[in-house]
Chain A
């Protein structure tokens, strides 16, 4: 018995096509919002408190001070890249190990004798907006930059 040359019934093929059209309508991804990549007002407000200028002329020395300060605060240094001026560190809100604080610090020259240091702190994936947190961090950083180190 020879099989028919075209034994896929036309109706089944039509159903398959219709099905595909139907589900493609269900699978439309949402449109990216216009300001997905734009800074929010909140982030612009906290940018000022996240940035400080220090009287350090050498970027490497400034970054060493940042690393030392972060280590003193109990942070684990995760990334340190001198050529990019970037240090990333994180720590746990011990003894509670469910909350994580992460901080990304960038060091850029502001002028011949000064460095601009910006610290982005995150608490459980949300940016920290409390100014006292940044004040505490920069106080520790200042101590680390100018006392006991070259």
Chain B
């Protein structure tokens, strides 16, 4: 009897450790090297590529019209404007959407099932309910500015960056309740979203955009 309890509790401890490690990865903990603040204020090789993806130039003198068209283009993509400053050509927009995924819900159920089974055999409460993605907020921050004209008329440049926040729901770890609200953020580096935005912006002002 004693041997059984010892080995099963050892198994339980090992399984709990494995699950915790898995959760830590899932929760977004990174164990890699940290970027220091020095590097964050210097241009990197990616800066130029990001700038090309995020920027388009337009042959229009009226930066107010360009900004207004940007708001309309963002509206087309489902965004709601949250801030604006006309004299600096600044706009911010956001949209909140559901972030639930079938895959995560299934994983959550099976992990809970597994840990429940382990708890039943081990005698201690090792139930683990994984917090899953619930809600996301996708944000856009845009600046429309005139740039120096090279003789053939003033031009304006629009630069936009998209990023999103994803929030997880609640969970359970043994007897501890994991409160909801774990937040993850990511910069959106997918070119398609930027292309779609600039396509709509061009339509909104009936002009051809030129890539830099």
Task: List A residues at the B interface (Cβ < 8 Å).
Answer: 60, 63-64, 67-68, 71-74, 76-83, 91-99, 101, 121, 123, 128, 130, 132-134, 136-137, 140, 148-150
Contacts and interface: CB of A to CB of B under 8 A. Distances in A.
A73 B40 contact: yes
A95 B32 contact: yes
A67 B92 CA distance: 14
Nearest to A136: B41
Contacts of A134: 41
A101 B40 CA distance: 8
Nearest to B51: A72
B191 interface: no
A92 B40 CA distance: 9
B90 to A, nearest CB: 4
Interface residues of B, number: 40
Contact of A128 (B37, B54, B163): B37
A79 B149 CA distance: 27
Given A79-B83, A80-B85, A96-B30, A91 B40 contact: yes
B184 interface: yes
Given A71-B143, A74-B47, A78-B141, A93 B40 contact: yes
B47 A73 contact: yes
B148 interface: yes
B161 A76 contact: yes
B72 to A, nearest CB: 20
B35 A93 contact: yes
Given A92-B187, A96-B34, A150 B146 contact: yes
Contact of B35 (A67, A96, A128, A149): A96
Nearest to A150: B148
15 contacts: A67-B143, A68-B143, A71-B51, A71-B143, A73-B42, A74-B46, A76-B141, A81-B88, A99-B34, A121-B37, A123-B37, A136-B41, A137-B41, A149-B148, A150-B146
B22 interface: no
Interface string B11-53: 0000000000000000011101011011011111011001100
B147 A140 contact: no
B90 A148 contact: no
A72 B7 CA distance: 58
Given A98-B30, A133-B38, 5 more contacts: A64-B88, A67-B145, A83-B87, A95-B30, A101-B40
Given A73-B43, A95-B30, A82 B37 contact: no
B5 interface: no
B117 interface: no
